Amino acid sequence: MTLLDQDGVHVTAEGEVATVTLTNPAKRNAQTPATWRALAEAGRVLPGTVRVVVLRGEGKSFSAGLDRQAFEPEGFDGEPSFLDLARGTDEELDTAIAEYQEAFTWWRRPDLISVAAVQGHAIGAGFQLALACDLRVCARDVQFAMRETSLGLVPDLTGTYPLVHLVGQARALEICATGRFVHAEEAERVGLANLVVPAEELDGAVTDLAAALLAAPRGAVVETKALLAGADTRGYEEQRAAERAAQARRLRDLAGLGD
C-alpha cells in the first residue's frame, strides 16, 4: 500500500513493516528542503500497526547529501536559497533549521524500530539520515562521510548526537573535522554498522532483520527500547528501578491485568 509519493520520497506499508525510499538515483538521492518536508510527512502517515520502518535509497548510493544548488543564489524553485536564509533574523534562521531537522527526528520513536539499508555513498545529510535510524545494515561498498566542515558548516541535521554515542567524542570529532570516508570494515568495527553484507544481499539481510525484530511481542520490544534509550542518562540504581517498573507492566499485561 502506497502512503506517500512526493519530492523524491516514496512510502509503502505492508503489514507491520513500512518502507521509506529515496527515489532520485539520477542525483544519487541528493536532498533538498522539499525532500526533508516529505521525509517529515512520511513519519506522520505511518499506520499505527507499523512496528519496523526500513529506509533505503534507489540506485548505487543511499544519499550523496545536500543538493549543492541550495547554495546557489537562485536556490530551488519556490524555495529560498541558503544565502537568503542567512540574511534572515536569528529567529527565522533557527525556525528554518528546526523545520529541516523534523525529517530526521521521528525515526527513533519509541513505538518503532527503524533500519537504514545503506549502500554506496552516505555523505553529509545522507550520513545523518542513516544515523537518525535505530539500526544500520550496510553493503560492503558503503562510504560514510561528514563533509559539512569542508563547506564551512557544521552537521546540524541531528547527526552529532548519535555519532558521538556510537563511536565516542574523539573519533566523532576526527570523522567530522577531516570529512574522510568511513568504509564498511571500519563502520562495523566502531559500531556505525550493525551488519555488513555484500551489496547483492542487502535487501535480503534487511528483510531477515525486520522479521527477527517482529518476532517478539510489540510491548516487550517497546519497553526494552525505552530502557536502553534511557540507560546512559540514568544512574545504576535508577536503571534498576526502571527495569523493575517495566517488568511489572509486562507481567501485568501478560496476566491480562494491563490498562
pLDDT tens, residue by residue, 95-122: 999 999 999 999 999 999 999 999 999 9
- Is the pLDDT assigned to residue 12 strictly greater than 80? yes
- For 127-176, the DSSP string reads HHHHHHSSEEEEETT-EEE--GGGGT----SS-HHHHHHHH-HHHHHHHH
Output the average pLDDT for the chain.
96
Q: Which of 3-17, 70-84, 181-195 has the lowest mean pLDDT?
A: 70-84
Q: pTM for the whole thing?
A: 0.95
Q: Are residues 171 and 76 in the same domain?
A: yes
> Is residue 223 a contact partner of residue 242, using CB atoms and an 8 Å limit?
no
- Is the pLDDT assigned to residue 124 strictly greater than 90? yes
Domain count, the chain: 2
Q: Which helix (H) or strand (E) holds 104?
A: helix 90-105
Q: Are residues 191 and 238 in the same domain?
A: no
Query: Can you tell me the distance from the alpha carbon of 178 to that of 145, in angstroms, rounded to the nearest whole number?
Result: 9
Burial class (CB in 10 A: 0-12, 13-18, 19+), 156: middle
Residue at 259 is within a domain: no
pLDDT recorded at residue 201: 98
Q: Are residues 20 and 128 in the same domain?
A: yes
User: What is the average per-residue pLDDT within 28-43?
Assistant: 97
Residues ≥6 apart with Cβ < 8 Å to 227: 239, 242, 243, 246
Q: Are residues 191 and 67 in the same domain?
A: yes
**Confidence tier at 231 by pLDDT (50, 70, 90):** very high
Maximal C-alpha separation, the chain: 63
Q: Are residues 119 and 169 in the same domain?
A: yes
User: What is the average per-residue pLDDT within 199-215?
Assistant: 98
> Is residue 177 a contact partner of residue 149, using CB atoms and an 8 Å limit?
yes
Look at 259 and 209; give whichever has higher pLDDT.
Answer: 209
Residue at 132 is within a domain: yes
Q: Are residues 67 and 41 in the same domain?
A: yes
Q: Are residues 8 and 28 in the same domain?
A: yes
**Which residues constitute the domain of residue 135?**
2-213
Residue at 53 is within a domain: yes
For residue range 135-168, what is the model confidence (pLDDT) as tens digits? 999 999 999 999 999 999 999 999 999 999 999 9
Q: Are residues 184 and 228 in the same domain?
A: no
- Is the pLDDT assigned to residue 207 strictly greater than 90? yes
Q: Which CATH number belongs to the domain containing residue 193 in this structure? A: 3.90.226.10
Residue at 137 is within a domain: yes
**Confidence tier at 219 by pLDDT (50, 70, 90):** very high
